[in-house]
């Protein structure tokens, strides 16, 4: 097998759809010649009911491509007992086909024997630093590098979905124009804050004692639809839980404050005539907390 040839079997293990799609596209470029996609590229949305159908597709020689590519999604539904045909094929794969398997997870014992030309693609969701590194690598790949603080901000605003991050990077690269890099300023100007970031900023402002600024931020966020009152009540409850874990607030004060959050949430859901007042009272409670300068500082 030449260096550029794909292995006989590729396993995409993990639930991140963007990484899976990238792996499938890479295999398609290696295996399938242009113009022969309809004859030499077969994809099953899930394990086929009839084993002979997929085995026939794998054993059929390609019409005009180096290899025939057969993709099977959802193999986590299979086990060694329900799909012995697949294990048998993995022991003796066709030399003229590439089988690409996709699974959120792989059942124990459901891997081919050692020696099978198998390539495993890690498609698990990325988190933390690995996610920021992916953003930096993707930005460089599309020709517009991104500063590390800007990458971290983008992750906070978009979340962990790689498809959303990839689309946002393309938008940022386009709107950045002649700028050599994407910076925090571009991300702040183009990508709106997420619910989590909006709530976090409001809580930080309140805990730091900046009452007027916190109140105004809350009013603007709810008025523009960036944050609902229901989400805000949940965020305040989250803060008290985190503060309790970090032992930042005396236990008695914490219990009393958390009870106030629960009471306000119940009154809100029961149709209180002035829910904004309930939210502002909770914000004032945060402002009045003794000795607090930030959530984790």
As a three-state string, the secondary structure of 36-94 is: CHHHHEEEECCCCCCHHHHHHHHHCCCCCCCCEEEEECCHHHCCCCCCHHHHHHHHCCC
Domains of the chain by start residue, with CATH: 9-122 (3.40.50.300), 128-190 (1.10.8.60), 195-287 (1.20.272)
Residue 244 pLDDT > 80, yes or no? no
pLDDT value at position 30?
93
What mean pLDDT comes out for the span 179-193?
91
pLDDT value at position 144?
95
CA-CA distances (angstroms) from residue 72 to 12, 124, 155?
10, 18, 31
What mean pLDDT comes out for the span 267-289?
86
pTM, two decimal places: 0.70
Judge whether 62 and 96 are in contact, CB under 8 Å: yes
What mean pLDDT comes out for the span 190-208?
83
pLDDT value at position 290?
56
pLDDT value at position 283?
87
- Cα–Cα distance measured from residue 54 to residue 22, given in angstroms and rounded to the nearest whole number: 23
DSSP-assigned states of every residue in 124-165: PPP-HHHHHHHHHHHHHHTT--B-HHHHHHHHHHH-S-HHHH
Low-confidence winner among 2-16, 68-82, 105-119 (lowest mean pLDDT):
105-119
- Residue pLDDT, tens place only, 47-68: 888 889 899 999 999 999 999 9
pLDDT value at position 108?
64
DSSP letter, residue 194: P
pLDDT tier for residue 3 given thresholds of 50, 70 and 90? very low
What is the rounded average pLDDT for all residues in the chain?
86
């Amino acid at each position: 097998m030449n260096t550029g040839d794909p292995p006989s079997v590729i396993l995409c293990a993990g639930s991140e759809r963007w990484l899976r799609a990238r792996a499938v596209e890479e295999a398609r470029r290696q295996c399938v010649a242009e113009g022969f996609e309809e004859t030499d590229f077969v994809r099953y949305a899930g394990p086929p009911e009839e084993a002979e159908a997929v085995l026939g597709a794998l054993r059929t020689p390609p019409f005009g491509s180096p290899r025939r590519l057969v993709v099977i999604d959802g193999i986590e539904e299979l086990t060694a007992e329900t799909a012995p045909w697949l294990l048998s094929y993995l022991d003796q794969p066709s030399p003229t086909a590439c089988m690409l398997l996709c699974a959120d997870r792989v059942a124990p014992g459901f891997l081919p024997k050692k020696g099978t030309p198998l390539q495993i693609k890690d498609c698990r969701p990325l988190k933390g630093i690995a996610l920021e590194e992916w953003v930096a690598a993707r930005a460089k790949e599309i020709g517009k590098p991104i500063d590390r603080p800007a990458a971290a901000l983008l992750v906070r605003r978009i979340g962990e979905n790689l498809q959303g991050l990839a689309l946002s990077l393309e938008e940022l690269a386009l709107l950045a124009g002649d700028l050599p890099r994407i910076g925090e300023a571009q991300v702040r100007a183009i990508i709106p804050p997420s619910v989590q970031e909006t709530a976090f900023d409001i809580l930080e402002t309140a805990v730091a004692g900046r009452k007027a600024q916190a109140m105004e931020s809350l009013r603007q966020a709810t008025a523009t639809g960036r944050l609902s009152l229901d989400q805000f009540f949940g965020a305040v409850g989250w803060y008290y839980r985190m503060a309790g874990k970090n032992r930042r607030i005396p236990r008695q004060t914490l219990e009393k404050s958390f009870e106030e959050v629960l009471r306000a949430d119940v009154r809100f859901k029961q149709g209180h005539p002035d829910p904004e007042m309930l939210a502002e009272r909770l914000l004032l409670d945060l402002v009045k907390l003794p000795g607090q300068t930030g959530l984790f500082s």
